[in-house]
Amino acid sequence: MRDYPDRKAVPILQNIVAAMGPDSVILINNMVLPNSGAHWHVTQVDSTMMTMLAALERTHQQWLELMEKARLRINRICSPVAVAVEFD
């Protein structure tokens, strides 16, 4: 979903919902940025995606808003222990 702005992501999600059964779930493997204080590398990726694709790395709040627009709810967000790797 990270490659799509909300105006394109919502219809994609709604089409998936239409094909889902009553016990179906959607697993989305994307980065979830903190609402504030994100590492500079992550914000650089976000800026690049915005410039090249009109897309974004979404914050927790933006994911909640996207799922609400698509009439979905988030059951769980899992975060890795390490969120950034830097090399000198």
Q: pLDDT per position in the chain (88 positions), as tens?
A: 878 889 999 999 999 999 999 999 999 988 888 888 888 877 887 788 788 877 788 889 999 999 999 999 999 888 776 656 666 5
What's the pLDDT score for residue 66? 95
What's the pLDDT score for residue 24? 93
Structural contact between residues 46 and 57, judged by C-beta atoms closer than 8 angstroms: yes
Sign of CA pseudo-dihedral 6, 66, 82, 75: negative
pTM summary value: 0.75
Q: How many CB atoms lie within 10 A of CB 58?
A: 20
What's the pLDDT score for residue 86? 64
